[in-house]
């Protein structure tokens, strides 16, 4: 069965106050479809998905091998040539941050700017990065490892991950 995906973002803001005279209220609703991806391998298309909930023991990390052993939700190999959507959600029950990026070798650079760069996702936080064009290139054996780290000691961390490419 072919893969397709739609990616959305939404922000709703309500601000009210009580000035000396009258009442002020500000409302903003931004609901944007960021990306529609049809089945395929070109720009605006998607053919690979990795979707999982994962747990890291205290003070440990793992490398998600984008050109290796990841499986899609139906058990088929998810070997990425490009990544178009990166989504991480750290469990609100975590005590430590979930840190994404900075593989020891063969680090996936993608949107991070350099292999050593990281993003720390606090408990309950979300990281979502979307490439509306051709995607961020994955280079097997030299730039294909997306490192995920438990940012502290003492407790494990759990996170949800969605990678589309």
Q: Which residues pair with 27 in a beta bridge?
A: 14
Across residues 122-127, what is the average pLDDT?
98
| Cα distances (angstroms) measured from residue 46 to each of 26, 82, 86, 131, 155 | 38, 9, 13, 12, 36
Indicate if the pLDDT at residue 161 is higher than 80.
Answer: yes
d(CA 139, CA 128): 21
Indicate if the pLDDT at residue 22 is higher than 80.
Answer: no
| Mean of pLDDT over the chain | 94
**Domain 39-164 class?**
mainly beta
Indicate if the pLDDT at residue 1 is higher than 70.
Answer: no
Indicate if the pLDDT at residue 134 is higher than 80.
Answer: yes
Q: Give SS3 for 110.
A: helix
The domain limits of the chain are: 39-164
Higher pLDDT, 32 or 151: 151
Percent of the chain scored above 90 by pLDDT? 82
**Residues 90-111 pLDDT 10s:** 999 999 999 999 999 999 999 9
Across residues 133-143, what is the average pLDDT?
94
d(CA 116, CA 101): 7
């Amino acid at each position: 069965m072919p893969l397709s995906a739609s990616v959305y973002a939404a922000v709703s803001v309500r601000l009210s106050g009580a000035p000396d005279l009258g009442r002020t209220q500000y409302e903003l609703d931004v609901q944007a479809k960021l990306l529609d991806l049809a089945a395929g391998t070109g720009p605006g298309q998607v053919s690979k998905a990795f979707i999982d909930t994962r747990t890291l023991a205290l003070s440990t990390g793992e490398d998600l091998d984008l050109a290796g052993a990841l499986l899609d939700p139906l058990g088929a190999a998810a070997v990425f040539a490009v990544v178009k959507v990166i989504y991480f959600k750290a469990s609100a029950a975590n005590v430590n941050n979930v840190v994404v990026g900075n593989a020891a070798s063969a680090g996936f650079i993608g949107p991070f700017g350099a292999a050593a760069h990281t993003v720390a996702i606090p408990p309950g936080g979300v990281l979502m990065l979307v490439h509306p064009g051709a995607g961020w290139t994955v280079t097997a054996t030299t730039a294909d490892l997306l490192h995920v780290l438990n940012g502290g000691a003492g407790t494990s961390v759990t996170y949800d991950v969605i990678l589309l490419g």
